Structure 1
Amino acid sequence: MNNLFGQTFNDTLKDINLKPANSINLDGGERTISFLAGSYLLYKSLKNITKHPLLGLQGAAAGGLLIYRGASGVCPLYQRLGIDTTDPEAIHISETITVNAPREKVFAFWRELSNLPKFMAHLKTVTETSDTTSHWIANTPGNLIPLSWNAEITHEDENKYIGWQSTTGSMIENAGKVEFIDTLNTIGTQLHIEINYFPPAGSVGKGIATIFNGLFEKMIREDIQSFKNYAEHADFMNYAGLQIDN
């Protein structure tokens, strides 16, 4: 039985290319666990190698593989399966809505970024720090992870287009744009909205990505759609100087 196990294990070792064929595919947390587990297994195996030589050698080899996995950040098995835990999945949102308000008024409301939390539940505050820069704080489901970032407006065409992105060093990389188009009757406005969030790499990024790919993404999509209702609310009507029906 031991000989059969040993032969199978040795065959597996031969099949594994220890030279990193690609870039690092393990995040920091998984590397640490692999290194510690490998070190412990190697220690226990060498300690008992005189009592159980075959099992001791096999355990030492397995421990060495785990140490290599942790030290190099490369997992050959993950390479074969196409798994990369350093690259959390981003979310890409694209929505189109139409509101019954003039394009100039809708643009002005969105351009004043501090207005966004009025209808976007996933945003706690947006503070404008200059004509083109701002600080954003997000509400996450259960407030599990505090998220904030700085952003700058990268492109603006008055009454037609706003584009922004997070600044260098922000916890969350993100970018977005909104296009404002007259409806056929020129009374309303069609908004084409695109928002992209890119969680950071590593264990924290994996945790954030878990939120993004579930409830948080759902919140953002609902927030965008909720502007249709907010545009008929008294607050927006007063802001835009529109007549409120009694």
Structure 2
Amino acid sequence: MLENRSGNSSAIHIPPATGSSIINIGTGERIASVLGGLALASLGVRNMKNGKGIALLLGGGYLLTRGLVGYCAVNRALQRNTVSKNASAIQVSRAFTINKPRAEVYAYWRKLENLPRFMKHLSEVKETDATHSHWTAAIPRGLGSVSWEAEIVEDRPDEYIFWESLPGSTIDNAGEVTFKDAPGQWGTEVHAIISYRLPAGDVGALAAKLINPVVELLIQEDLRRFKNIVETGEIPTAEGPSGRLQDKVRSKLKKFKQSYQHHNYEGPMLERH
């Protein structure tokens, strides 16, 4: 829970695990399912004349789908997971005061296409209608990009925004921002909570472990940049008072890129350029 100065608290929304985040079959089991599915499908094709072919094809199709998608309904019902690690969530929360009227601060954030102006981990947000939008995030150091669809679930003008990615997204994302008048007419108190969940699976677990610290640092800077751009209308050029944060980001990115190259990471979440 995040408590504000008035003593109220707001729930922290972690994006629900959907799509690739609910992979519950490990790599070895997925390979076995694919091979078994191919074998059954091949037998099915050869036995179409004696009545067994259709059943074999259906069984083979199920195993193929199970292996390729990485999800098993039986595993979930039994709460069984053969993946080495579950998907890991990134969650960053910040509270700060902006010396601008609440309506103005809210309006800037509510126009989601403004977000990439201060959120440098986002390359584009395109609003497709009043509540839906298409998001594209850049993987640090030119390692690719990932896109997803999101929906504004709750919107109280000048007070509160809550959005989350649509079910089945490659990356699960959620965010909520609360806007309140600061005490003594000193502008607007902003409470922002941003959450991401990378895909599950062996590769997803590796990516989460390596990239989460980088994204957390970038989001912290994004929120600081939001305050600057709303107050001054300009994007700050200095990324930190002493460059310590930039040094941390560079260190994390270097480690991530080395591991990325070592593991030849080509997961479905990335769109390579």
Same fold by TM-score, threshold 0.5 exceeded? yes
CA 1:29–1:146 in structure 2 vs 1: closer, same or farther (change >3 Å)?
farther
How far does the alpha carbon of each residue in 1:30-76 deviate from its partner, in whole angstroms, 9 at most, with x for none?
A: 8649xx9xxxxxxxxxxxxxxxxxxxxxxxxxxxxxxxxxxx9x9xx
TM-score, length-normalised on structure 2? 0.55
Q: Quick check: which has more Rg, 1 or 2? A: 1
Which moves more between the two structures, 210-219 or 174-183? 210-219
Partners of 2:217 and 2:120 lie apart in 1 by 11
Partners of 2:210 and 2:196 lie apart in 1 by 12
Partners of 1:172 and 1:29 lie apart in 2 by 23
1:205 alignment counterpart: 204
Q: Which runs of 4+ in 1 moved over 4 A?
A: 29-33
1:121 alignment counterpart: 120
Alpha-carbon distance, 1:110 to partner = 0.4
Q: Specify every segment of 5 or more residues in structure 2 that has no aligned partner in the other structure, as ranges.
A: 1-22, 36-71, 236-273
Number of residues of Structure 1 aligned to a counterpart in Structure 2: 170
CA 1:29–1:227 in structure 2 vs 1: closer, same or farther (change >3 Å)?
farther
Alpha-carbon distance, 1:207 to partner = 4.2
Q: Specify every segment of 5 or more residues in structure 1 that has no aligned partner in the other structure, as ranges.
A: 1-23, 37-71, 237-246
- 1:132 has 2:127 as partner: no
Q: Percent identity?
A: 43
- 1:110 has 2:109 as partner: yes
Partners of 1:29 and 1:99 lie apart in 2 by 52
1:59 alignment counterpart: none
Alpha-carbon distance, 1:204 to partner = 4.0
Q: Secondary structure at the residue paired with 2:212? A: helix
How far does the alpha carbon of each residue in 1:65-90 deviate from its partner, in whole angstroms, 9 at most, with x for none?
A: xxxxxxx9x9xxxx9xxx95241221
Q: Aligned partner of 1:127: which letter?
A: K
Partners of 1:207 and 1:145 lie apart in 2 by 16
Quick check: 1:122–1:139 contact (8 Å CA) kept in 2?
yes
Partners of 1:199 and 1:154 lie apart in 2 by 21
Q: Secondary structure at the residue paired with 1:194? A: strand
Partners of 1:115 and 1:107 lie apart in 2 by 12
- 1:143-154 aligned at under 5 Å gives the runs 143-154=142-153
Partners of 2:148 and 2:202 lie apart in 1 by 19
How far does the alpha carbon of each residue in 1:15-43 deviate from its partner, in whole angstroms, 9 at most, with x for none?
A: xxxxxxxxx9763268649xx9xxxxxxx
RMSD: 2.9
